[in-house]
């Protein structure tokens, strides 16, 4: 089996937003849509004892996604490899999934005509990887810092498996029980 996940190494992230721009450029996103915003946390503390880190986000591709069962048309669904995606032909932009997602990672573009609206979100670059099997998601490939690592958690030799098995990782809002598949290696303070 294949289970795609992403590890985000917050120790390495410097908040340059390259992932955000690469994603929107190559996925041809309208201006009001961002799949993977990078959130600046801080500056925390009081000068000069300050600290700052960044939280790159994206769809969590949950094990039990709240956004899939609520979809009335079957547009929102999940592949066997864990990737959650939307069949735009079936989507009627009812926004049920947008409301259901606890991470706020889905939205529709208001820049398109009402009748052509549909909900979008990160697909781990599903189409791009299908066209080019060697490719990684755009946000991963473009990262100078190698802060985003993508791979198959079911493959014990993959980099993500090795990282998750060896370094402490956290997942966002794990208590909700959706089983998010984005694993964060947290910043440890001023230096890691």
Q: State yes or no: residue 17 binds other proteins (CB under 8 A).
A: yes
Select from 10-18, 74-82, 95-103, 175-183 the region that touches other proteins (CB under 8 A). 10-18
Q: State yes or no: residue 89 binds other proteins (CB under 8 A).
A: no
Question: Cα separation of 147 and 130, whole Å?
Answer: 23
Alpha helices in the chain (DSSP H): 18-26, 96-100, 126-131, 138-142, 159-166
Name which position in 141, 163, 172, 176 contacts other proteins (CB under 8 A): 141
Q: State yes or no: residue 190 binds other proteins (CB under 8 A).
A: yes
Q: Which is nearer to other proteins, 128 or 171 (CB)?
A: 128
Token pair listed for 48? 């000069």
Q: Which residues pair with residue 182 across a beta bridge? A: 6
b/e 62-101 (16+ beta carbons within 10 angstroms → b): beebbbbeebeeebbbbeeebbbbbeeeebebeebbbebb
Q: State yes or no: residue 128 binds other proteins (CB under 8 A).
A: yes
Q: State yes or no: residue 10 binds other proteins (CB under 8 A).
A: no
Whether the ω angle into residue 43 lies within 30 degrees of 0, i.e. cis, is yes
Q: State yes or no: residue 116 binds other proteins (CB under 8 A).
A: no
Binding mask of the shown chain, residues 30 to 49, with x at each position contacting other proteins by CB under 8 A: -x----------xxxxxxx-
Q: Which residues bind other proteins (CB under 8 A)?
A: 12, 14-18, 20-22, 24-28, 31, 42-48, 50-53, 127-128, 130-132, 141-146, 190-192
């Amino acid at each position: 089996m294949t289970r795609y996940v992403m590890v985000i190494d917050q120790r390495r992230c410097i908040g340059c937003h390259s992932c955000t721009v690469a994603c929107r450029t190559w996925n041809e996103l309208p201006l009001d849509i961002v799949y993977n915003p990078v959130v600046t946390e801080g500056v925390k503390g009081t000068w000069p004892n300050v600290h700052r880190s960044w939280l790159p986000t994206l769809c969590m591709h949950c094990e039990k996604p709240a956004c899939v069962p609520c979809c009335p048309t079957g547009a929102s669904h999940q592949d066997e490899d864990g990737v959650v995606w939307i069949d735009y032909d079936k989507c009627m932009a009812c926004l049920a999934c947008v409301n259901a997602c606890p991470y706020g990672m889905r939205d529709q573009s208001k820049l398109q005509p009402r009748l052509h609206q549909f909900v979008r979100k990160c697909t781990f670059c599903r189409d791009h990887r299908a066209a080019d099997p060697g490719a990684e998601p755009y946000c991963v490939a473009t990262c100078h810092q190698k802060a985003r690592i993508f791979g198959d958690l079911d493959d014990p030799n993959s980099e993500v498996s090795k990282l998750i098995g060896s370094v402490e990782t956290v997942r966002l809002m794990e208590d909700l029980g959706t089983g998010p598949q984005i694993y964060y290696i947290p910043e440890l303070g001023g230096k890691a």
